[in-house]
Amino acid sequence: MPDQAAVLASELASNIDKHARDGALYIQALPLGDGVEILAADRGPGMPELERCLADGYTTVGTLGAGLGAVSRIASDFTIRTRTGTGTYASARLVRPDQPGTAPQNAALTCLPADLEEHCGDAGAVMDTGTSRTAAVIDGLGHGHEAAEAAHSALRTFRTAAARSLPDILTAMHRTLRHTRGAAVGLLRLQGERAQYCAIGNIRAVALSPEGVHHRLTGQPGVVGWRMPTPTTHAFDLPAGTTALLHSDGIDARWTQDPALFVLRLPPPLLTAAVTHNHRNTRDDATVLAVRPPRRDQ
């Protein structure tokens, strides 16, 4: 799998270099299952003939034209969207051969350290328990190694307590983080067409449909591990086709004020790439997590 991931990253990076501008690759572990995701994002000219670009042998620059066709064949799951004059977003996922069903799940995560930082003080995860899907975004206070330690301590607690109520999960994290820097934590639980949000600190949640932004929620003031108020839960509708999204304050919250319809209609993997690429504050750790309810056939 490492060799395949290297090929995917190389082909997607080459495509950006030849055809686009202001592009980036984001290489992340999948939030569900054992695998890796290579995300490509750019603000280039877009692809007016996307289907032709995906065919082997098609090229506009005199190369062999194997790039996107090779990516589509090698990846366990490949998703791409483009808009002329806006840019292109692509997601190539790889999973082990014994886990084919984990690649196309409607959950995605980007988690990046601040520029010049070796450690990321943010973390995120998704857990499926029964018919529910629970997601967490954690922002350890500050940056660097100690912030990362706090975030990953909270993440370990989340993984063991994910089936509990959202306030109970936060209470368990609070106990875990008492001797750390502490963290801001946002939790989402999706079940059917309903969602619950419970958060302490500046972890924001939004719900996006193909038509617009329907909810904007911010956590209660406080720090998990230090001064945490009694957590409260907010419930909201999540109709079919709606995506719930959590992000840390390394993402400019103003992105929800007037997002383009093209962005609103992106599937979760490409949505995280678009929000991260266009609205990230590079001086801060930044995390974006997008989820839809688990498929009923899972």
Task: Please determine, for residue 167, whether its predicted confidence score (pLDDT) is greater than 50.
Answer: yes
Model confidence pLDDT, tens digit, residues 76-85: 999 999 988 8
| 242 — pLDDT class (breaks 50, 70, 90) | very high
pLDDT at residue 142, as a whole number:
92
Mean pLDDT within 171-182? 97
Categorise residue 65: left if φ over 0, alpha if ψ from -120 to 50, beta otherwise: left
What is the pTM for the complete model shown?
Answer: 0.90
Furthest CA-CA distance within the chain = 62
Model confidence pLDDT, tens digit, residues 10-44: 889 888 888 778 889 999 999 988 899 999 999 87
pLDDT at residue 48, as a whole number:
59
| 228 — pLDDT class (breaks 50, 70, 90) | very high
pLDDT at residue 61, as a whole number:
42
Q: How many CB atoms lie within 10 A of CB 252?
A: 15
Task: Please determine, for residue 136, whether its predicted confidence score (pLDDT) is greater than 80.
Answer: yes
Model confidence pLDDT, tens digit, residues 185-212: 999 999 999 999 999 999 999 999 999 9
Residue type, 104: P
| Tokens describing residue 256 | 């929800």
Rounded Cα–Cα distance for residues 94 and 99 (Å) = 10
**Residue 68 buriedness (CB in 10 A; 0-12 / 13-18 / 19+):** buried
Mean pLDDT within 232-243? 94
